[in-house]
Amino acid sequence: MALCKEERQNAMNARHHQTAAMKLQQTPLCLAAGLALLLSLSGAAGQGTFRNLDFESANLPLVFPGQSGGSVSSIDALPGWTAFLGTNQVTQVLYNDATLGNASIDIVGIYWRYGGTIEGSYTLILQPGSNPFSGNINDYIDSSVEQTGLVPASAKSIQLKASGYSFSVSFAGQALSLIPMGTGANYTLYGADISSFAGQVGTLRLTGLTTLAQPSTTDSFDSIVFSTQAIPEPGVFGLAALGALLLGWRVLRRLQMRLQTPAWLVGGLAVLLSAWGAVGQSSFQNLGFESASLIPIPGDPYARVQFATAFPGWTGLVGGAKRPPPSTIWRSWALRGSAL
């Protein structure tokens, strides 16, 4: 009798599952599509109305190792972004290619011969440098991209992976204070407080900056996200460093009191340690390249300076031979061939 009951219950369960499956199969296709769209929108809403923040929406053909994609439309290469060289809007960017000193905007893929991408299939490169519109190699301009959108209401920070020499990130015309949060194989993860702009519409701008020390540089950007994670203010790190310094001073002070070591002896030891640190470089000099004295060569058309004073302690070689004449290029690039 109990067996019969169990068999009837199993049969009822089987019919129930079959009916549920049939109902699911009869769900209108439009309803299923609508649910998928809602789920997609809920995920996209996490980045407000900004798009292509990871630069993965490029509509470009695959470029294989050793090949260049040449000049391509910025609409295809950087959907959602507007590109600028200085104050001039440009509609063409380079694909898997770069310039030798001129300002440019580049999109590079996984087969980029100088290190690949930071993450995913594409990475943005901004090259500030010589103004290609003026024809003057000493007229340097920034390169930048921007887009306008709504910052998510829950956003507390903006984070991005980047590498380079001098660059900035701004929103609504205000520079954001970037704080290093971590490092990867070829990038630094930066974060900046964006909470004061949460729920607001504004222009997000990435800029590769030309500077006197580095007028022509290469700055790479990838994986920009708005996050609910708060970024500590720079002052927090400063207070932490000050706290560590005070703690170290107290420990040394207690040690001095216990050992009854005279203060002059402690100071003398500090001087000796400092001198020992300097002697640690042996007889090498100018390893930080900070001893340069830039003396222009009169009448030189390439803006070269005297090598000996530009690199004290160093000997310049090109192709295995000492460079004649003893000169080097300053604030410029070799458009062809090798150079120092």
What is the pLDDT at residue 137? 84
Please give the angle made by the CA atoms of 84, 49 and 41, to the nearest 5 degrees. Answer: 140
The pLDDT mean for the chain works out to: 76
CA distance 127 to 207: 9
What is the pLDDT at residue 292? 79
* Pairing of the two strands 143-150 and 140-141: unpaired
Q: DSSP letter at 326?
A: S
* Beta partners for residue 304, in sequence order: 329
What is the pLDDT at residue 311? 81
| Residues of the chain under the 70 pLDDT cut | 1-46, 233-281, 297-305, 317-340
What is the pLDDT at residue 264? 54
CB atoms within 10 A of CB 218: 19
166-224: per-residue pLDDT in tens?
999 999 999 999 999 999 999 999 999 999 999 999 999 999 999 988 899 999 999 99
What is the pLDDT at residue 313? 84
List of domains in the chain: 70-227 (2.60.120.260), 288-340 (no CATH)
What is the pLDDT at residue 2? 42
In this prediction the pTM is 0.59
Closest CA to 188 of 162, 219, 149: 162
